[in-house]
Homo-oligomer: A and B are copies of this chain.
């Protein structure tokens, strides 16, 4: 039974020959020393990552995750990831997993050793937690002020709000704050009353027959699971829409979900301790879709 896997990856430049991919990967024991303390990942949280779901042997949404990794790298001025190499590395890691079960497969690209010049990278695979309760019975969520206003993301690109960086200490603190308040998760909101995203998820809100999510320009990550669900909505005759959502709109919405690659669609059952309506049909439909093989 595979429990965890760790691979160190030498990230090759775009265009490197495919026959060099194999020797650029090295499996190491999980938990063993692998990264130098002056690697910019532990040194400064200075790198980017993606977490992909592996469901019954199929890695979900490899293309969208690699596209977002490339976008994060661009925002952080890291070298463009070699998508072919990453596809090969991801496939090799996934081939080591059982044909059944859910896994979280993280890929990370760091700025590398201080003072450089070469990035480092790794893959880390762990069994997914059992998220059945979150998917079926939902989650209690608190709103947390993200400090910024609606315009900060566009105004201040150096804040890296649109990049999925390794600097997640505040995201982790927000989840601890939620647990302290007897909730399951948090939802960041702006200081001027707009909905942003969860610390490790996107939010989708149903208002009447429309499914809406805040635009990425609002200073959030463009969610791969949210995008996948919007494609599913379109394919099934429904509508997904990007637009600003106020916290007041969310409080009076017909349903809302936090969606993410591994937990999938978790309906919000209470927001700041006030019960929210749950759309059980849409929740079942979303999770059935998200559990099916997707590319």
Contact = CB atoms under 8 A, between A and B. Distances in A.
Assembly of this chain: how many copies? 2
Interface string A149-163: 100110110111101
A37 B34 contact: yes
A31 B38 contact: yes
Nearest to A32: B36
Interface string A59-83: 0000000000000000011000000
B31 A42 contact: no
Per DSSP, chain A at the interface is: mixed
Interface stretch (A171-179, A258-266, A274-282): A171-179
Nearest to A7: B37
B76 A169 contact: yes
A32 to B, nearest CB: 6
A251 interface: no
A39, A160, A165, A173 — most chain B CB neighbours (10 Å): A173
A36 B45 contact: no
Interface residues of A, number: 60
A171 B159 CA distance: 8
18 contacts: A4-B38, A6-B38, A31-B36, A32-B33, A33-B34, A34-B36, A34-B37, A44-B166, A44-B169, A144-B156, A147-B153, A148-B148, A149-B149, A152-B191, A158-B174, A158-B176, A165-B167, A166-B167
Interface of A: 4, 6, 8, 28, 30-47, 76-77, 108, 110, 113, 122, 124, 126, 144-149, 152-153, 155-156, 158-161, 163, 165-174, 176-177, 186, 191, 219
